[in-house]
Amino acid sequence: MEIKVNFISQEKLNGFSTDEKLEFILKEVEKGQILVLERGLKAEEQTKLIEMTMNDVNEKFTGIEMESYIEEKPTFLQKLLGKNSARMTIVGPAGTLKTIYKDKDVIQAVIVGKKK
């Protein structure tokens, strides 16, 4: 039983617009992929991804499991430069990725594989 996890670099996602980025993530997750995003999604992007996910939920695809850390309030300078302060985000299909513990700095998740 092999589980594939894709680590996506900041550079790859930087080349996308917000919509392209979220469409890419959701498409991959719907294919069953688990993604670890080096530079996490901002809170507004997370809500947009939840909205897009809800539009796609059906009897087979029940949604996503997404985990990130609490986003620090951006400083004035970060806001001015449009800098993303979000830390890593992990996202995968709800049926495959399951969070078992989480606190301010630790995310513990298990990946549930299907038997061949």
Partner 1 sequence: MFGKLSGWLSSIFGKKHVRIGIYGPPNAGKTTLANRIAMDWAGEIVGEVSEIPHETRKVQKKDRVVIRDGKASLTLDLIDTPGIATKIDYHDFLEFGIDEEDAKQRAKEATEGVIEAIKWLDNVDGVILLMDSTKNPFTQVNITIFGNLEARELPFIIAANKIDMNGSPATLQSAFPQHEVVPISALEGINMDLFYEAILKTFGKKGR
Which residues make up the interface to partner 1 (CB under 8 A)? 42-44, 46-47, 50-51, 53-55, 57, 59, 62-71, 73-74, 94, 99, 102-104
Q: How far is the CB of 12 from partner 1 (least distance, A)?
A: 23
Q: Which is nearer to partner 1, 38 or 63 (CB)?
A: 63
Q: Of 32 and 63, which CB lies nearer to partner 1 in the complex structure?
A: 63
Helices 43-56 and 18-30 cross at an angle (nearest 10°) of 50
Considering only CA atoms, give the Rg of the chain: 15
Distance CA 100, CA 60 (A): 23
